[in-house]
Homo-oligomer: A and B are copies of this chain.
Amino acid sequence: MSVDAVGTTRRGRGARKAIRQTRDISMLPALKRGIPLTEPMSAERIAQIDNASMDILEQVGVVFRDPIALEDWRRAGADVRGETVHLDRALVRSLIQSIPSSFTYHARNPANNLPFGKDHAIFVPMTGAPFVRDLDDVRRNPTLEDLANFHKLSHMSPALHSSAHHIVEPYDHPISQRHLRITYSSMKHSDKTFMGMTTSPRNAQDVLEMSALLFGEDFMQTHPVVTGNINGNSPLVWDETMLGALRAFGQYNQPVLCSPFVLGGANTPASVAPTVAQLNAEALSALAYSQVVRKGMPAIYGHYLATVSMKSGAPMAGTPEISLMNMMIGQMARFYDVPWRTSNTLGGSKTFDAQAGYESASTMMAVLMSGANYIWHSAGWNEAGMHCSMAKFVVDAEQCAMGYRMAQGVNWDDFEDAMQAVRDVGPGGHYLGHPHTLENFQRAFFMPELFDNNSIEQWQAEGSVEITERALKQVRQMLGEYEEPKLDAGVNDALLDYIARREREIPAADALNQSF
């Protein structure tokens, strides 16, 4: 199989044109919020969390399981004892001051560039699913073709601002080489922003070199083009893989998400405010380290956050405590004046059922009220991240568009015209034929495509089609209508050459089918 054929459905241009519809796939600009933030903490409570986190950093310390990081910290003036780094609060405060509070996140199509940070937010699809619920709602291991399909759907969903990276894990390609194909698929199938794999420092290096082929290395040194996620091991540990990937991103001055991985009650105290205090200490330690690596490199306050059922040990989503913690974490990130990343539309259900709906919508509302800048896992996540559902992917993407509309706030520009309409219509009338209605109805009230609000009689006459089936029908339509935003031919060749060379260099022995 040639690299070029990976994940690309071949079809004649005529056939594609014939089924093309009028779907508007124009990306929405980065969300600029027009409603107030929900801030449950007073300035005193923020200071209490800050103080507790700084106490943790000073007294308990953070383990950096990485000789280079320990040496870096020594040079930076930290108190290093074995693998444990004790960080003085003055040092932490001084270091994080150089983190950019906002920047422009560049896409290969400049029309898709995104203002990032402050009161802007972007929606990024889920990543990392070891299973897909596919076009037939069958749960199975994903392939590169599945991944390509998700990248296409991301490209065509107006409220998604990124094609991310490994939305699903492509099990039909050797694990050691997978990051190359994943990165290429993100770049090829969408001209929105994307993410870079951080599964090892060398893999990160590959992603960054491929990004340099696409954007130019000089450009990258002054323009963010790819985000990498750096997970922590709560409580209070960062490992060599993640720290090495962070340094790779630092070399190219690219943004990293510094994300403690929190299972509240298992790797944090069983309590909301203390969990935030620990998470905050963890995030600060990595944010500070990013500035040791490269002063001024973009870094984003991050976290993955579930609460754990004390009955079963299972991670839970959409719980009231996760909502509260998101609100609080948003306040802490703003207190330090750094952008922040959270997770969206998390579902813990095995199927795309009502549970998934409640959990996803609760999460999205909380995240929007909290003012997150980088709203990750915004489409497809179910079964606690074990699968990405094609049906849920497009429903979530539409929910993002609805959440976007809410967070934009209220439009007032037709107010006086509408008041005239009230006078025209008068008591007991209706507005359906009024000029103000005819002029405004298209934009006035969001009409979700994937929700059925018809009468039961009409719904039954149309075959009693449930939401999963409706959503999968839309997925098929979208994939049929998809048109590739072609890479520049020279860049494409350079990327394919890079992949071919690296695949010759990287042993593939450990690989194919191992995880099926």
Q: Does A455 contact B314, Cβ atoms closer than 8 Å?
A: yes
Q: Which residues of B contact A412 (CB under 8 A)?
A: 45, 48, 273
User: From residue 409 to 444 of chain A, which have CB atoms closer than 8 A to chain B?
Assistant: 409-412, 414-415, 418-419, 421-423, 425-432, 434, 436-437, 440-442, 444
Q: Which residues of B contact A456 (CB under 8 A)?
A: 139, 350, 383, 386
> Which residue from B63, B321, B402, B422 sits with its C-beta under 8 Å from A427?
B63
Bound-state CA distance A429–B268 (Å) is 9
Q: Tell yes or no: A495 within 8 A of B by CB.
A: no
Q: Which residues of B contact A466 (CB under 8 A)?
A: 351, 353
A38-B38, A264-B445, A357-B354 known; A422-B309 Cβ under 8 A: no
Q: Does A236 contact B426, Cβ atoms closer than 8 Å?
A: yes
When C-beta atoms are compared, the residue in chain B nearest to A282 turns out to be B427
Bound-state CA distance A436–B274 (Å) is 11
Q: Does A411 contact B272, Cβ atoms closer than 8 Å?
A: yes
Q: Which residues of B contact A236 (CB under 8 A)?
A: 426-428
Interchain nearest-CB distance for A415 vs B (Å): 5
Q: Which residues of B contact A365 (CB under 8 A)?
A: 323, 361-362, 365-366, 369
Q: Does B445 contact A265, Cβ atoms closer than 8 Å?
A: yes
Bound-state CA distance A55–B395 (Å) is 42
Q: Tell yes or no: A327 within 8 A of B by CB.
A: yes
Interchain nearest-CB distance for A139 vs B (Å): 8
Q: Does A35 contact B327, Cβ atoms closer than 8 Å?
A: yes
Interchain nearest-CB distance for A190 vs B (Å): 25
Q: Digitize A35-48: 1 where CB-to-B-CB distance is under 8 Å, 0 elsewhere.
A: 11011110001001
Bound-state CA distance A364–B410 (Å) is 20
When C-beta atoms are compared, the residue in chain B nearest to A428 turns out to be B237
Q: Which residues of B contact A328 (CB under 8 A)?
A: 410
Q: Tell yes or no: A397 within 8 A of B by CB.
A: no
Bound-state CA distance A318–B193 (Å) is 30
Q: Does A406 contact B444, Cβ atoms closer than 8 Å?
A: no
Bound-state CA distance A355–B361 (Å) is 10
Q: Tell yes or no: A211 within 8 A of B by CB.
A: no
Q: Does A427 contact B60, Cβ atoms closer than 8 Å?
A: yes
Q: Which residues of B contact A26 (CB under 8 A)?
A: none
Q: Which residues of B contact A415 (CB under 8 A)?
A: 48, 52, 271, 273-274, 277
Q: Tell yes or no: A231 within 8 A of B by CB.
A: no
Q: Does A447 contact B402, Cβ atoms closer than 8 Å?
A: no
A274-B419, A350-B456, A418-B269 known; A321-B445 Cβ under 8 A: yes
Q: Which residues of B contact A327 (CB under 8 A)?
A: 35
Bound-state CA distance A459–B312 (Å) is 12
Interchain nearest-CB distance for A53 vs B (Å): 10
Q: Does B453 contact A314, Cβ atoms closer than 8 Å?
A: yes
Q: Tell yes or no: A216 within 8 A of B by CB.
A: no
Bound-state CA distance A315–B324 (Å) is 32
Q: Tell yes or no: A335 within 8 A of B by CB.
A: no
Q: Tell yes or no: A485 within 8 A of B by CB.
A: no
Q: Tell yes or no: A448 within 8 A of B by CB.
A: yes
A268-B431, A410-B41 known; A447-B309 Cβ under 8 A: yes
Q: Does A410 contact B40, Cβ atoms closer than 8 Å?
A: yes
Interchain nearest-CB distance for A167 vs B (Å): 19
Q: Tell yes or no: A186 within 8 A of B by CB.
A: no
Q: Does B40 contact A34, Cβ atoms closer than 8 Å?
A: yes
Interchain nearest-CB distance for A478 vs B (Å): 19
Of A316, A399, A410, A429, chain B has the most CB atoms within 10 Å of the CB of: A410
Bound-state CA distance A40–B412 (Å) is 12
A residues with a Cβ closer than 8 A to B are 34-36, 38-41, 45, 48, 52, 55-56, 59-63, 84, 139, 233, 235-237, 264-274, 277-278, 307-312, 314-321, 323-324, 327-328, 348-362, 364-366, 369, 383-384, 386, 392, 395, 399, 402-406, 409-412, 414-415, 418-419, 421-423, 425-432, 434, 436-437, 440-442, 444-448, 450-456, 459, 464, 466-468
Q: List 11 A-B contacts (CB under 8 A).
A: A55-B419, A235-B425, A236-B427, A265-B431, A270-B418, A273-B410, A307-B446, A321-B444, A328-B410, A354-B467, A365-B366
A84-B427, A353-B353, A355-B467 known; 8 other A-B pairs, CB under 8 Å? A269-B434, A269-B440, A271-B411, A272-B411, A310-B442, A324-B410, A354-B467, A369-B369
The 5 lowest CB-CB distance pairs between A and B, nearest first, are A357-B357, A274-B418, A320-B406, A365-B365, A361-B361
